[in-house]
Amino acid sequence: MSEIKIRRAHALAPRQARKAAEKMSTSLSEAFDMQFEWEGEVLRFRRSGLDGQLTLGHKEVVIDAELGFLLAMMKPKIEQSIHENLDRIFGEEVKSKPRKHAPKKK
């Protein structure tokens, strides 16, 4: 088996991070016929040849996955896809986060 381990810092509040993880899981579920299930702050995912989890930390997201023999040959492509999804989805949540403006000086 081949392993994928990715750690990524984020600046999201817990609720926003969970919303981003759910958005990512929905996208991956539709594309790769994966099953997802929350266990606390851990989102477990599974499909034939792939078993893993996404763990939401206070300031980081960690993805650990085990690839079966056939998917191991596609490891670089899978890792690239994970990075792109993290950038796109967690990045969207940061962009959509309302910005606080400093009070105007008189």
Q: Helices (DSSP H) in the chain: which residue ranges?
A: 14-32, 69-72, 75-85, 91-96
Q: Would you say residue 24 lies in a domain?
A: yes
Q: CB of 42 within 8 A of CB of 62?
A: no
Q: CB of 21 within 8 A of CB of 54?
A: yes
Q: Would you say residue 8 lies in a domain?
A: yes
Q: Would you say residue 103 lies in a domain?
A: no
Task: Please determine, for residue 4, whether its predicted confidence score (pLDDT) is greater than 60.
Answer: yes
Confidence of residue 72 (pLDDT cuts 50, 70, 90): very high
Task: Please determine, for residue 104, whether its predicted confidence score (pLDDT) is greater than 60.
Answer: no
At 79-97, the pLDDT tens digits run 998 888 888 888 765 454 4
Confidence of residue 98 (pLDDT cuts 50, 70, 90): very low
Q: Would you say residue 53 lies in a domain?
A: yes
Task: Please determine, for residue 12, whether its predicted confidence score (pLDDT) is greater than 50.
Answer: yes
| Token representation of residue 40 | 């606390």
C-beta pairs of 78-81 under 8 Å, 24+ apart in sequence: 78/4, 79/4, 79/6
Tell which wins on pLDDT, 44 or 99. Answer: 44
Domain carrying residue 57: 2-91
> How many structural domains does the chain have?
1
Q: Would you say residue 47 lies in a domain?
A: yes
Q: What phi and psi values does residue 59 have, to the nearest 5 degrees? A: -130, 15
Task: Please determine, for residue 20, whether its predicted confidence score (pLDDT) is greater than 80.
Answer: yes
Q: Would you say residue 104 lies in a domain?
A: no
| Strand order through the sheet with 42-47 | 2-9, 60-67, 50-56, 42-47, 35-39
Q: What percent of the chain has pLDDT over 90?
A: 42
Q: Would you say residue 12 lies in a domain?
A: yes
Confidence of residue 105 (pLDDT cuts 50, 70, 90): low
19: domain CATH number is 3.30.310.50
